[in-house]
Amino acid sequence: MNKVILVGRIVRDPELRTTNNGKSVATFPLAVDRRFKQEGQPEADFFNIVAWGRQAEVICQYLGKGRQIAMNGRLQSRSYEVQDGSKRYVTEVVLEEFDFIGSKNDSAPQNSQPQQDMDLGEDFHLVADDDEAPFF
């Protein structure tokens, strides 16, 4: 199974391109806060996101830097060759579904407390504490 679920903030405005076949593709980095922060360690992880088709167009039209997004997708690895002949490897998250979170005016974190009024759908539940983990 290859499933990734992320809730984070868009780091940079999504970039929309069109393939030679006319299909839209958007790419953007997503910052996801770490749940447990240790001194001297980064407080967020950054993931490269790729969206295709109509979803790419909608994301570029309505979302920008600082906006929150809840998404699921799959991890994908690929490689390509650069001009000097060396091979580069990339791992990215291919978006499958997403939901808008927050409002346009909510482009910067107000505090580090989780939002209790997020509407992530019926199938998504926030875990209040680690003693009540939904699986083993």
Query: What is the model's pLDDT at position 37?
Result: 76
Query: What is the model's pLDDT at position 107?
Result: 55
**Range of lowest pLDDT (35-49, 79-93, 107-121):** 107-121
Query: What is the model's pLDDT at position 110?
Result: 43
Question: Greater confidence, 100 or 14?
Answer: 14
Residue 92 CA, chain-centre distance (Å), reads 10
Question: pLDDT for 54-86, tens place per residue?
Answer: 999 999 999 999 999 999 999 999 999 999 999
Overall pTM > 0.85: no
Map residue 55 onto helix, strand or coil: helix
* Domains defined along the chain, listed by start: 4-132 (2.40.50.140)
Average pLDDT, the chain: 82
Question: Which tokens belong to 133?
Answer: 């983990």
